[in-house]
Amino acid sequence: MVFLSAWLCSCEYEDFELFESLDNVDEAGSENSIVEEEYIGSEEFFLELKEKQENKNPLNDINVRKAIFYAIDREEIVKELFGDYNEVLDSLFLKNSYFHHPSWSEYDHDLSKAKDFLSNVGYGTDNPLYITIGSRNNHSNYKVIEDMIKEDLDEIGIKIWIFNKPPEEWYPDYVIKGNYELGLWSIENSYGSGLNSLFNSEKLPSYETAENKDCLNFYWYSNSDIDEVLKEIMEEKEYEEKKELFGQFQDVLADDAVILPLYSRLITIAYNNEKLKKIDVDIKNNKVSYNVENWNLSDEESEIIIGCEGEDCGPVDLFDSNYLKDLILADLWEIDKKGEYEPVLVKESDNISELEVAVLLKDDIFWEDGEPITSEDVAYTYNILLANEDLIGMDEDYFKIEKIDVVNEKEFNIVFKEYFEDWKRLFGIVFPDGTLEERDLYDFSIEDTEASGRYKIAEYISGDYLLLEKNEFYSGKESGIDRIKILFDSDINNLIGMLRAQEIDLVKVPFDLNLMSILEEDGDVDLLVEPGDLLEHIAISLKPVEESESV
């Protein structure tokens, strides 16, 4: 499921009262060229200049879009925000992704190209173009980016006004309605499964219905070639072919200059290098899943303490992937970096008809009490879920499953109402038969969980800590860590202080250049800085102004 956080600004200005007239400005096409710089401090004056422009949809011209992309110095933006810890992203996939394709590398900072493209439509420093940019107003990085973009575009003759709004206004009033010109937001794109919802012309927000869901094309972008490639991607099973198709998709999107990737948000982990000699993490859904089986501890160490920002671990989200779930529970399948499903608890699966799949579980899979994990457990879990169709966060594809037929202890068949290729994603959690009876699935506590993964719960003090110990009945790759203590604290500064005092061994910290410098100077602390799968970018709305709703 794609996670999308999108916040943009409006390009509709009917609600502004413009108090300053420009009737005395030369009407011979040079009205913008003689404007004094006083407009910089006047929102109303800027907007009236913008309204005087003959072309109300300048961003629908690819020359303007390409001028913007070449003018923006992405290297400087990344350097300003992250120093040497991050790099410009030229793809919709991370650099280590199987589907990475640097389609946007052509947009290196080039003012000469930018000016040439802009001059093709009659704009330049002597005749500026007026447009707006915006984002949600509670993100400090976005404000830095907007100010730098404003300076970059001013050099070629594009004047920018910054409009930022609170998140609760941004999404419903500006993003969904297409009421913006340039905007900043992020998309989650681990495996490309959500790109159809973002860029298919049938997924414009105005097309959202009960049958046509997830209409997240907030760019109001339409290209029949893109639609066809996306269709082929969804139907393709071979990953080499899918990789080529994702490359074609990105090449077309980059050439159309609708979205300009900036960088990946960073995941930063600080850890005690005296105790932890090596750590490894996997980024899933922009959350950290610890690959603790690959960690190396100092000699004679067998327990680590992980600081967790928050008051408690809270109720279990049955549809969420996070470090606790991945430490305690094993999936039937888990997804790899290609987006391919690798069996964990499953031995094999085969399509036996158009609407039925046969699944065989492994023999040596057990719950923490030594009882085998069975087909009855799988059927029980999914019957419970299918009976709770009002669960928040539940994927609608669950209801394309008719039933789970148990054949025997290790075999079961999945019977579909409507078959779909990506069905394995729905089988990420299993509970023992009978354990969910009479329990509120919205308030399913971590202490109610029976482990099938590497660790089981040894002790839980609500609001204080959670202690995990090795699950002796886990049959997968063994970890060298016998016990993991998760210590809760709502103040990240307390946790950082505890790490530096060697009272805890590891904590996920917010990225901040000053904090990175402090931690780098601490000889007892090492940093692991990894790009996450939230991709920041500059977006362009292609929705014609006359079709936009007034807000």
pLDDT digit of tens for each residue in the chain (551 aa)?
Answer: 333 333 333 333 222 222 232 333 333 344 444 444 545 568 888 988 999 998 999 999 999 999 999 999 999 999 999 999 999 999 999 988 899 999 999 999 999 999 999 999 999 999 999 999 999 999 999 999 999 999 999 999 999 999 999 999 998 899 889 999 999 999 988 778 889 999 999 999 999 998 898 899 999 999 999 999 999 998 888 889 999 999 999 999 999 999 999 999 999 999 999 999 999 988 876 778 888 999 999 988 899 999 999 988 866 655 566 678 889 989 999 888 777 889 999 999 999 999 999 999 999 999 999 999 999 999 998 888 877 766 656 677 888 899 999 999 999 999 999 998 889 988 888 889 988 776 666 666 777 789 999 999 999 998 999 999 999 999 888 899 999 999 999 999 999 999 999 999 999 999 999 999 999 999 999 999 999 889 999 999 999 876 444 33
Question: Which of 143-178 are b and which e, b meaning 16 or more Cβ less than 10 Å from the residue's Cβ?
Answer: eebbebbbebbeebbbbbbbbbbeeebbbebbbbbb
Q: What is the pLDDT of residue 234?
A: 87
Does 347 share its domain with 420?
Answer: yes
Residue 504 and residue 488 in contact, taking contact as beta carbons nearer than 8 Å: no
Domain-located, residue 30: yes
Q: Which of 172, 177, 182 is nearest to 135 (CA)?
A: 182
Sequence-distant (6+) residues with CB within 8 A of 334 are: 341, 342, 344, 428
In a domain, 529, yes or no: no
- Asked whether residue 254 falls in the same domain as residue 345, the answer is no
Residues 397 and 518 in one domain: yes
b/e sequence 210-232, b meaning 16+ C-beta within 10 Å: eeeebbbbbbbbebeebbebbee
Q: How many structural domains comprise the chain?
A: 2
Same domain flag for 491 and 346: yes
Co-location of 231 and 101 in the same domain: yes
Q: Are residues 111 and 226 in the same domain?
A: yes
Is 365 found in the same domain as 506? yes
CATH number for the domain that contains residue 500: 3.40.190.10
By residue range, what is the domain housing residue 417? 274-523
The answer on 509 and 376 residing in a single domain is yes
CA end-to-end distance (rounded Å), the chain: 30
CA dist 152 and 171 (Å) reads: 27
C-alpha neighbours within 13 Å on the C-beta side of residue 514? 0
Q: What CA–CA distance (Å, rounded) separates 297 from 307?
A: 17
Query: What element of type H or E holds 423?
Result: none
Q: Is 240 a domain residue?
A: yes
> Computed from CA positions of residues 461, 467, 473, 476, in that sequence, does the dihedral angle turn out positive or negative?
positive
The reply to whether 327 and 229 lie within a common domain is no
Same structural domain, 328 and 458: yes
Same domain as 540, residue 510: no
What are residue 530's DSSP bridge partners?
Answer: 267
CA 302 from centre of chain? 34
- Residue 292, domain member (yes or no): yes
Which domain CATH number covers 217? Answer: 3.10.105.10
Residue 510, Cβ neighbours under 10 Å: how many? 10
Assess if residue 528 is contained within a domain.
no
Q: Rounded distance, CA 343 to CA 361, Å?
A: 9
Contact 183, 536 (CB under 8 A): no
Rounded Cα gap, residues 317 and 309, in angstroms: 17
- Residue 339 pLDDT: 76
Alpha-carbon torsion (66, 71, 73, 77), positive or negative: negative
Task: Tell whether 269 is covered by a domain.
Answer: no
Instruction: Give domain status of residue 49, yes or no.
Output: yes
Say if residue 134 is in the same domain as residue 98. Answer: yes
Cβ partners under 8 Å of residue 20, min gap 6? 42, 44, 45, 48
Tell me whether residue 530 is in a domain. Answer: no
